[in-house]
Amino acid sequence: MNLTHHFLLSMPQLTDDVFGRSVIYMVDHSADGAWGLVINKPIGLQLSDVFEQLNIANDNEALGNGIVLQGGPVDPQHGIVLHPPGPLFEGTQNYAGGISLSSSKDALEALAAGEQPQDYLVVLGHAGWAAGQLESEITQNAWLTSPATPSILFETQLEDRRDAVAQDLGIDINALVTESGHA
C-alpha cells in the first residue's frame, strides 16, 4: 500500500517527544523509503521569529503570531510551507492529493505580504524512514493510517487534528491502551 497523501496516527506506545501523540502527513512513500511532516506539534517559535531570522518585513501582527510546527527530527533547520496547489514559488513541488510544498524564502515573503497561499502550515524539519522501515513499524502497531484530507491539514485546529484523524477511522484514540491481556 502506498501511503503518499495519508495520515499516520501514532499509537499510545509511541511516547517520545517527536512521535508521541503525533499526526504525520505523508508526503512521499515508495519502495525506497518514506518522508512526511508532523502536523500537530508546535516547535515553540512564532512565524514572526522566522520572518525576523530571514529579514522578512511583516506588518501583520496576527500573521506573525502564527505557529511554526516541528515537522520532524530530520533537517530541523529546513523550513517548509505546506499549502494547496496554486501559487508557485522558486522551491515549489506539487505532490499527490492536491498538496504543494515550498521551501524557498519567496514563499515566506508572500505570506508576510498577505499574498497566496491563504491556507498553509509552516514546519521545520521532517520525518523520514528507510526502505521497509515504515512498513515494519506499521506491522508492529506503532501507527494507524488514514487517507489525508485538506480540511484536517488546513481547517482543523492544531490540538484537534489527532482526534479528527482518529474520528475519520471510527475510533476514540484516547480509549486505546498500550498493553493488552489481563491481570
Yes or no: say if 153 and 82 are a contact pair by the CB < 8 Å rule.
yes
Q: What span, in angstroms and rounded, lies between the C-alpha atoms of 40 and 9?
A: 11
**Structural domains of the chain, ranges and CATH numbers in brackets:** 6-175 (3.40.1740.10)
For 98, 101, 105, 142, the CA distances from 154, given in Å and listed in that order, are: 12, 14, 21, 25
Q: Cα torsion for 55, 53, 58, 88, to the nearest 10°?
A: 80
**Three-class DSSP category at 64:** helix
| Contacts for 118-121: CB closer than 8 Å, 24+ residues apart | 119/83, 119/84, 119/150, 119/153, 119/154, 119/155, 120/81, 120/82, 120/83, 120/154, 121/37, 121/39, 121/69, 121/81, 121/82, 121/83, 121/153, 121/154
Q: What span, in angstroms and rounded, lies between the C-alpha atoms of 19 and 15?
A: 7
Yes or no: say if 162 and 173 are a contact pair by the CB < 8 Å rule.
yes
Yes or no: say if 86 and 38 are a contact pair by the CB < 8 Å rule.
no
In tens digits, the chain (183 residues) has pLDDT values of 899 999 999 999 899 999 999 999 999 999 999 999 999 999 999 999 999 999 999 878 788 789 999 999 999 999 999 999 988 999 899 987 889 999 999 999 999 998 889 899 999 999 999 999 999 999 999 999 999 999 999 999 999 999 999 999 999 887 876 665 555
> pTM to 2 decimals?
0.92
Give the list of residues 6+ apart from residue 140 with CB closer than 8 angstroms, or none. Answer: none
Sign of the C-alpha dihedral computed for residues 157, 163, 165 and 167 taken in this order: negative
